[in-house]
Amino acid sequence: MRNNESSLRADLLVVGFGKGGKAVAGAMARLGRQVVVVEQSDQMYGGTCPNVGCVPTKALVHAANNRRPSDEPQEWYQRSVGEVHEITSLFRQGNFDGMNNLDTATVLTGHAEFIDDRTVRVGTVQGPVTVSAENILINTGSTPVIPAIAGLRDSKYLVTSTDLIHRTELPKHLAIVGGGYLGVEFAAIYRRFGSQVTLFESGAAIFDREDDDIATVAEKILVDEGIEIVTGANITQVRDGDSTATVVYLNDGREETLEVDAVLAAAGRRPATDGLGLEAAGVRTTAGGAVEVDEYLRTSRPHIFALGDVNGGPQFTYISLDDSRIVLDQLVGDGKRATTDRVAIPRTLFMTPPLANVGLTEREAREAGFRIKVASQPVADIISMPRAYVVHETRGVMKFVIDLDTDEILGATLLSVDAQELVNLVAQAMRHGVTASRLRDAVYTHPSSTEAFNDVIDAVVRTDER
């Protein structure tokens, strides 16, 4: 140990203050265990979601949707960003205080690097601290991917999602590189704030995981909002000018250019493992840089676990939370809970209206050999769902894929107002064997979005009678 270096011993060390690690650390501290949580940035207590992910972006969705035509775009945007920062600051401080105020928990701020498989060195502003622990959790999350496009990484107009939600100047013309969840959400947000938006997708289509009928409706919603979508786009270069960047791309073999004042890299996120010194700990990683784990989230060192985005699983906050349950079961439970227990995990893309899915699409169900019936209805035609008209959001479609032999729900896609809530009910029904007929015939409050199920599940449009 270096002469000026202090040391701590703990029952549990958590590297990264994300959702899963935070939940385990708090639970263990309340059991009286000595816990140390390390976070390298004082702007990230609580992890990605409350600071630069779910909370600020969904707050911006809400603010953008509330902008009236008479509201000046820049002024409305600047005020909205300020309000979002107030929310994230409140959450960040609450996360720090909630952990640091526990009697047996200590929060260290600084970069952590493994010395061996039970010890890390943390570079704090007060000096280095070595922490040794019986069990260690890696919970460092993920970082944005910058595509290998000439001139992009060094462009002064390049922004990540983190950069974009912290700037108070509304882009006049925003180019988005990547048509996945992140790209579509930011396209919808900034178009509603008043930016001109061009969305570049290298594939043949956006929403390519969806059935064609859903993808058509979803894409039309974006186009009708005024978002320009360029599919099959091969961006070859980004050139900086005095006040704009030039995006050079090939479209159907022709070179085209576009002048913008911001370029958002939305090509996904990769596990944040750089600089952790995992080799010194003997912790293996995958080819994609994720920490390799088994179904109990144990790494190649059984006393070291990896939770959340860093382990290469689905990049959702609620998956990280469920990871915490698995790890806690390993540490203080019967050790039986595993990632293989998960079924019917929902997901939501927060465009307007939201697009939510759970289970199989029609295409996936047919490819898997199921005999199915498909119930589908445009939101505007669902008689039992007056809420859509009440809130002036009748765009979208609801679709259920149902096993023809058992009446079990194989999957659902909900592109509608309140879809982010509705999908949780469908997922719960699927987990507990509630049939489509029982979901259809249930009693729901009125007027609500849930009562749409009374009609939609009866609206059978395709049946496989093989």
The three state secondary structure string of the chain is: CCCCCEEEEEEEEEECCCHHHHHHHHHHHHCCCCEEEEECCCCCCCCHHHHHCHHHHHHHHHHHHCCCCCCCHHHHHHHHHHHHHHHHHHHHHHHHHHHHCCCCEEEEECEEEEEECCEEEEEECCEEEEEEEEEEEECCCEEECCCCCECCCCCCCEECHHHHHHCCCCCCEEEEECCCHHHHHHHHHHHHHCCEEEEEECCCCCCCCCCHHHHHHHHHHHHHCCCEEEECCEEEEEEECCCCEEEEEEECCEEEEEEECEEEECCCEEECCCCCCHHHHCCCECCCCCECCCCCCECCCCCEEECHHHHCCCCCHHHHHHHHHHHHHHHHCCCCCCHHHCCCCCEEECCCCCEEEEECCHHHHHHCCCCEEEEEEEHHHCCCCCHHHHCCCCCCEEEEEEECCCCCEEEEEEECCCHHHHHHHHHHHHHCCCCHHHHHHCCCCCCCCHHHHHHHCCCEEEECCC
Give the integer Cα–Cα distance in Å for 342 and 412.
Answer: 17
Q: What angle do CA 228, 230, 233 make, to 5 degrees?
A: 155
Q: In DSSP terms, which residues pair with 449 in a beta bridge?
A: none
446 is catalytic: yes
**Burial letters 348-364, b for 16+ CB under 10 A, else e:** bbbbbbbbbbbbbbbee
Angstrom CA distances, 59 to 71, 349, 352, stand at 18, 14, 13
Catalytic residue among 62, 166, 432, 446: 446
Cα–Cα nearest to 303, from 323, 289, 283, 320 = 283
Cα–Cα nearest to 114, from 175, 38, 20 = 38
Which residues belong to the active site? 446
